Amino acid sequence: GIVAIRDSLLKMRSEGKKVYRLESGDPSFDIPPHVRDAIIDALMKGYTHYTESTGIMPLRQAIHRKVVEENKIPIKDHDHVLVTNGAMHGLYVTFRALLVPGDEVIIPDPVWTEIADNVRLAGGAPVRCVLKPENDFVYDPADVESLITSRTKAIFILTPHNPTGAVFSKKILEEIVDIAVKRNLYIVSDEAYEHIIYDGLKHVSVGSLPGAEDRSITIFSASKSFAMSGLRIGYIVTNIDKIIERGKKLLRCTINGVNSIAQYGALAALNGPKDYIEEMRREYQHRRDMIYETTNKLRSLKPFKPRGTFYIWCRISEDWRDSEGRRSDWAMTNYLLRFGLGSTPGSEFGPASSEYIRFSFSCDTNHLAESLKVLREVLE
């Protein structure tokens, strides 16, 4: 799987070979200085004890303000906020709180691997709705509706979308909410990439739309917005009391509160200046332009121009073959690996995507430029 790709690259690097990390989705940026200072300050003040298992009160208050003001999600109060160990844990808690064995959740195909895994961990069954290139890899509401059965519990939304970089429009989200209202379904929305969005597009939180206020559960992350990936801060917001009640139990029994120091860092990130979010966004957009331009010129690839995230989703051309005459996604990933180039095969994100490959541009801009040079050489 994906881990084997990373392990091969790390092994090559340890043997002194140059590697190009276009498989990894970890932001290249350092955390903002005021976040670092807040973390040091919390440490010096001895804020190293147990916290409330749902998160420290000032952080939940800051999150509540943020989701109401910025995301326009009408969350009742800070008691409807749960601080989690990253969005990953937020997804785990959400699906565990929401699902009983046999419940179905409609998810996109392709989608970030851990979504289906978390649905299954909760005893649920992921039901895949294929995202089509002719729809710019956004749900077709009619397709979503056609997959609903008596066991369907929720529709899962991911915008901006990993791995395709698609961004769902307000209109499509409204249609999904209409379906959810009509069929009495929950909406689970992963907005980890809310700030990594390009071309002047505005992120729309599905929970802000009329009809969604009492049926949506939204998961956010500090990993991409504030480059805090290793500090593990995410949060869930929902007005559904049952989910909050169960979520509290799950938090207590899984982590009993996120690392106290990291919570003070997140508090500073949410309350502090926001200019660096825009700076990072601009730099990512510059990298997006670089990688799109390069891949778009290669005969072997047909890229989809990402509207958000730091991934580019490319279709492998009909006539590309490796030296043994194979055309699959894994064949291309393994071929690139020989030159030290990381990538992720499309089928890792769902069965409909074995003719696709994903490259990440979260690495720093110089590293990206070098990687693109090699990519051009080996795929031309």
Ligand X SMILES: Cc1ncc(COP(=O)(O)O)c(C=O)c1O
Note if the bond before 160 is cis, omega within 30 degrees. yes
In angstroms, the CA 269 to CA 29 distance is: 14
Which of 20, 95, 112, 276 contacts ligand X by CB under 6 A? Answer: 112
Span 286-305, contacts to ligand X by CB under 6 A:
none
Nearer residue to ligand X within complex by CB, 141 or 308? 308
Q: Which of 216, 218, 229, 239 binds ligand X (CB under 6 A)?
A: 229
Closer residue to ligand X in complex, CB, 27/124: 27
- The encoded tokens of residue 2 equal 């994906």
Instruction: Based on the shown chain and the rule CB under 6 A, indicate whether residue 208 belongs to the binding site for ligand X.
Output: no
Kind of pairing, strands 356-360 and 311-316?
antiparallel
Q: β-pairing, 152-158 with 104-109?
A: parallel
Determine the Cα–Cα distance for residues 349 and 51; give it in Å rounded to an integer.
36
* Position among 19, 23, 25, 126 found at the interface with ligand X (CB under 6 A): 25
Q: How far apart are CA 207 and CA 344, in angstroms?
A: 31
Nearer to ligand X, 223 or 238 (CB): 223
Question: Total binding residues for ligand X by CB under 6 A?
Answer: 13
* Cα 187 versus chain centre, distance: 16
Q: Does 353 bind ligand X (CB under 6 A)?
A: no
Q: Which of 87, 167, 187, 337 binds ligand X (CB under 6 A)?
A: 87
Cβ 156 vs Cβ 103: under 8 Å: no
Q: Which range in 82-90, 117-125, 146-154, 321-329 contacts ligand X by CB under 6 A?
A: 82-90
Position among 54, 94, 162, 239 found at the interface with ligand X (CB under 6 A): 162
Count other C-beta atoms under 10 Å from residue 3's C-beta: 7
Q: Which amino acid is at 236?
A: I
Residue 362 contacts ligand X per CB under 6 A: no
Q: Which residue sits closest to ligand X, CB atoms considered?
A: 86
Binding site for ligand X (CB under 6 A): 25, 86-88, 112, 158, 162, 190, 192, 221, 223, 229, 234
